[in-house]
């Protein structure tokens, strides 16, 4: 009968993308989904990815056989090194397990499923307010409810550090704490390394369980180590933790779904036994969900991570992307300040990564859409990569108009 399955709402982000595509205005500006665009508002295939693709296409030994359940080993091992650092104590002591996933979403899901099955503690995940909207449904789908800790301070448009710390302190002993290692989505606001250290102390004191969702390593600052510093610090401190790692943004491999999930156990005599058990359970979960992961994106990433020359070229490509985004931040702030747009705009350059949380209200967002064909999410998040030297004036003036009236 028709009432058994209720109609679900459309995904807000993909709905926004469809509305943008349907808009026929030549002036339209897409600041919705977090995907990099070049200065002509076009998707950018990283030059290093083109090279790797060429190599793959000419490799007579490649075929379309199944990958192992845990994925391509040359990919997962290098992905772990990239995330944890080649000299990570977790790698040296062989107390991490890595399994290839359907990009970051698949990794968060696998981690959530694993926790739903095995986590002994307060089976609630604390996420930032706000967080990537998908986090809520990924966890609730496997029966782990989400609760929020304060994160964004509307007044400063920066981090509400005290609020965040206190909420994590007040969460019941042994809760799951979801953290964005860098380039927080949707706010672009990150804790400083000193603040991460304080957070680590609080998390340790409550015996909480950290779960990092890393979608922007290298994309945020252009520096791979800096963007992973929070995760690496927690690992150095001997935490048991989980990491979801996406290669969508930093390789521009969005639709190829290349990602990895890492589990790290605490140091100690049982660490290797524990990690081998965890790896065995992850393999069972993976088999029942996707059997084995897709090849293409992981092959591209693996080629680049395993070749010093290609790796250096990738770092260059990362600088191109993060550099262009930083240019757009500087330029947008300067233009709004020049125009004398009411309010302060330093947060545009203080924030980092793909997004800026502009502080625009839902009403202003809707006016921008209607009056100027500018598309952004209702919470005032803009994908910085949607701005370029051709549309930034138009955008700044449109923002000025809605903020001023």
Footprint of ligand LMR on this chain (CB under 6 A)? 13, 33-34, 132, 134, 185
3-class state of residue 212 by DSSP: strand
Q: Are strands 175-179 and 122-129 parallel, antiparallel or unpaired?
A: parallel
Is residue 46 within 8 A of residue 254, CB to CB? The reply is: no
Of the two residues 134 and 361, which places its CB atom closer to ligand LMR in the complex?
134
Of the two residues 85 and 380, which places its CB atom closer to ligand LMR in the complex?
380
Q: Which are the contacts of 401, defined by CB distance < 8 A and separation ≥ 6? A: 371, 372
Q: Is 249 a catalytic residue?
A: yes
Least distance from ligand LMR to the Cβ atom of residue 11, Å: 8
Of the two residues 13 and 19, which places its CB atom closer to ligand LMR in the complex?
13
Which has the closest alpha carbon to 353: 216, 259, 181?
A: 216
Longest CA pairwise span in the chain (Å): 65
Q: Which are the contacts of 256, defined by CB distance < 8 A and separation ≥ 6? A: 103, 294, 296, 297, 300
Least distance from ligand LMR to the Cβ atom of residue 381, Å: 8
Q: Which of 44, 132, 196, 345 is catalytic?
A: 132
Q: By beta-carbon distance, which residue lies closest to ligand LMR?
A: 34
Q: Is 132 a catalytic residue?
A: yes
Least distance from ligand LMR to the Cβ atom of residue 74, Å: 27
Separation between Cα atoms, residue 372 and residue 25, nearest integer Å: 9
What values do phi and psi take at 227, rounded to 5? -75, -10
Structure tokens at 379: 């919470």
Q: Token pair 């290098």 is at which residue?
A: 78
Is residue 220 within 8 A of residue 353, CB to CB? The reply is: yes
Of the two residues 137 and 207, which places its CB atom closer to ligand LMR in the complex?
137
Least distance from ligand LMR to the Cβ atom of residue 241, Å: 22
Is residue 67 within 8 A of residue 296, CB to CB? The reply is: no
Separation between Cα atoms, residue 92 and residue 98, nearest integer Å: 14
Of the two residues 85 and 386, which places its CB atom closer to ligand LMR in the complex?
386
Q: Which of 30, 160, 213, 227 is catalytic?
A: 213
Q: Which of 28, 51, 206, 249 is catalytic?
A: 249
Least distance from ligand LMR to the Cβ atom of residue 382, Å: 11
Separation between Cα atoms, residue 327 and residue 65, nearest integer Å: 44
- Neighbouring CB atoms inside 10 A of 39's CB total 14
Of the two residues 138 and 202, which places its CB atom closer to ligand LMR in the complex?
138
Q: Are strands 175-179 and 209-214 parallel, antiparallel or unpaired?
A: parallel
Q: Is 213 a catalytic residue?
A: yes
Least distance from ligand LMR to the Cβ atom of residue 134, Å: 6
Which are the catalytic amino acids?
132, 213, 249
């Amino acid at each position: 009968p028709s009432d058994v399955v209720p109609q679900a709402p459309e995904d807000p982000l993909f709905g926004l993308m469809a509305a943008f595509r349907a808009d026929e205005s030549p002036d339209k500006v897409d600041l919705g989904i977090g995907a990099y665009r070049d200065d002509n508002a076009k998707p950018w295939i990283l030059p290093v990815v083109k090279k790797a693709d060429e190599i793959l296409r000419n490799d007579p030994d490649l075929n379309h056989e199944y990958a192992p359940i845990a994925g391509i080993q040359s990919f997962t091992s290098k992905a772990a090194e990239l995330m944890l650092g080649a000299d990570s104590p977790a790698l040296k002591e062989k107390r991490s397990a890595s399994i290839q996933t359907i990009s970051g979403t698949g990794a968060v899901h696998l981690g959530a499923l694993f926790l739903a099955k095995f986590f002994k503690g307060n089976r609630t995940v604390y996420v930032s307010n706000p967080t990537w909207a998908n986090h809520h449904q990924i966890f609730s789908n496997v029966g782990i409810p989400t609760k929020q800790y304060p994160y964004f301070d509307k007044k400063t448009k920066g981090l509400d550090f005290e609020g965040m710390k206190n909420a994590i302190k007040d969460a019941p002993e042994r809760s799951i704490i979801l953290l964005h290692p860098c380039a927080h989505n949707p706010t672009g606001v990150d804790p400083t390394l000193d603040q991460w250290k304080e957070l680590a102390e609080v998390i340790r004191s409550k015996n909480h369980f950290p779960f990092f969702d890393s979608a922007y390593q290298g994309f945020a600052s252009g520096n791979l180590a800096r963007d992973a510093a929070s995760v690496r610090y927690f690992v150095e401190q001997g935490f048991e933790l989980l990491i979801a790692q996406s290669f969508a943004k930093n390789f521009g491999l969005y639709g190829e779904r290349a990602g990895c999930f890492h589990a790290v156990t605490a140091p100690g005599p049982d660490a290797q036994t524990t990690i081998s058990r965890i790896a065995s359970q992850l393999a069972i979960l993976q088999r029942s969900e996707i059997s084995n992961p897709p090849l293409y994106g992981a092959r591209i990433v693996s080629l680049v991570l395993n070749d010093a020359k290609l790796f250096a070229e990738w770092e260059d490509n990362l600088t191109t992307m993060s550099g262009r985004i930083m240019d757009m931040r500087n330029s947008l702030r300067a233009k709004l300040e020049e125009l004398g747009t009411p309010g302060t705009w330093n947060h545009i350059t203080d924030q980092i990564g793909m997004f800026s949380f502009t502080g625009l209200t839902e009403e202003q967002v809707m006016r921008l859409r209607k009056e100027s064909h500018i598309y952004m999410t209702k919470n005032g998040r803009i994908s910085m990569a949607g701005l370029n030297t051709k549309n930034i004036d138009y955008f700044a003036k449109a923002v000025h108009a809605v903020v001023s009236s």
